Chains A and B, each alone.
Chain A
């Protein structure tokens, strides 16, 4: 590995023990993956925030970092936490969890990381630019940054994205290199995909079949950011796919080298149905609806509001929407929030159904339009989830 003088000094401990460890971590991961140099990153998105997912061990790590009083050297944003930082009691979060969660956020804040607490930083103004090198760790955000924006990031872990945020570097391997961004499989999309849940089903189907392989989707007519985020999130959850191309839509698709394509597959109506059938598990009464995996945009929230029309939610069913605090500061969002609350819909920010403990613990039968959410909520086998389109969900739970 070639290191600049500055990087060598960081590794040698001239800037303290913590910086040396974090640099060593990036160098070693790079060496194992064949990198020959480190490259500067523009920004970092850091996972490992919810107390549910990091547990007690994170505090020992924070102790090591705070001894050297380290700070991030590039703009850095946090992934969702385990609760809405204001309305946590309303979610059913217990006091001791809330206390631990606040401590974790404070520690990240001390390092200069912005507490955006969202998996969709690109929806709150932090849109990556084409060709930029990043160190992002939330898997759906990684896939959107690579595919929709043409930026370059590997699927980092919580620790490695934090190491990059602090040192300002990542190792030059994987998706940072053009030759590793080429598609290997063409997917002809024959099934009709209109609803967000259809995009999600397509992503889930592909990821499950072709773990880790970059696809090139053909025959997808429309794509907006909200559809692409559903597609990417599901593919990352079921198959760790971190990059993809959509013909005529994503920025690299036009010029990407197609000579490595080894297989063409078709996504038919029957494949789509198979995914919906797999997540058609609720036999009894629905307890909770969860929307917002990944976090909702303003357009998503508008669509939820308009789909309700004059109807409200039926007695005994809860309807939770997850978004980011920053998005809800918008005046239009505040109006929508009031309108939705009148219908019985709750919008929680800073968290989601996957990283908050209360969804899995307190609600057995859950409806969602996200295959990623369905995947994580059913993984432990304690919850039943049905995957439906937003309009079908609202039709079923309102009156």
Chain B
């Protein structure tokens, strides 16, 4: 079990399985708000679902309308459990707040390297930590 200090953007304590995108994600055009499936063909996670996963990505890219996609995921009950990024940016902050999805960032380390798809994670925003249990 490894513990990592994080910064809390949107609060929430959750436990779940990590899904890691090694490259920046465009929520608009890259994720289907109705199904939660990643539709960006350039992403190695193409075809995978974000639903009920802890989605880990370096940063977001693309249209600011991506915030509405994140909100749409929660309205359609296909949202990820939580979001972890290297640096919180406006698109994801706005989306996570509207959707009320726990969101943390880690500006001094690459989370897409320290966390692997399949790792079991506990995000605890009361203590600002993530516990990582390797797959």
Contacts and interface: CB of A to CB of B under 8 A. Distances in A.
Determine which residue in A24, A158, A159 has the highest number of CB atoms from chain B within 10 A of its CB, and name it: A159
A329 B55 CA distance: 50
B97 A157 contact: no
A163 B64 CA distance: 13
Nearest to B63: A53
Interface stretch (A55-63, A107-115, A288-296, A302-310): A55-63
Contacts of A25: 93-94, 97-98
B65 A54 contact: yes
Interface string A43-82: 0000110000111111011011000000000000000000
B57 interface: no
A92 B75 CA distance: 33
A25 B97 CA distance: 6
Nearest to A24: B97
Nearest to B70: A57
A63 B76 CA distance: 13
B135 to A, nearest CB: 31
Contact of B97 (A21, A57, A60, A158): A21
B34 A56 contact: yes
Contact of B72 (A28, A60, A137, A158): A60
A21 B76 CA distance: 19
Interface string B74-99: 01100000000000101101110110
A159 B65 CA distance: 7
A56 B28 CA distance: 11
Interface residues of B, number: 23
A47 B68 CA distance: 13
A57 B35 CA distance: 12
A56 B65 contact: no
Contacts of B93: 25, 28-29, 32
A365 interface: no
B71 A61 contact: yes
A160 B88 CA distance: 15
Contacts of B67: 157-159
Contacts of A29: 90, 93-94
A28 B65 contact: no
Nearest to B64: A157
A225 B24 CA distance: 36
B20 interface: no
Contacts of A21: 97-98
A160 B64 contact: yes
B90 A64 contact: no
B64 A137 contact: yes
Contacts of B63: 53
Contact of B88 (A32, A54, A158): A32
Nearest to B98: A21
Contacts of A55: 28, 33, 65, 68-69
B64 A159 contact: yes
A64 B68 CA distance: 11
Given A29-B90, A158-B64, 8 more contacts: A48-B65, A48-B68, A54-B65, A57-B33, A60-B33, A61-B71, A157-B65, A163-B94
26 contacts: A21-B97, A21-B98, A25-B93, A25-B97, A28-B9, A28-B93, A29-B90, A29-B94, A48-B64, A53-B28, A54-B65, A55-B65, A55-B68, A57-B68, A60-B33, A60-B68, A60-B72, A60-B76, A61-B68, A61-B71, A61-B72, A137-B64, A158-B67, A159-B64, A159-B65, A160-B94
**Those 5 A-B pairs whose CB atoms lie nearest each other, nearest first:** A157-B64, A57-B72, A57-B68, A60-B75, A159-B67
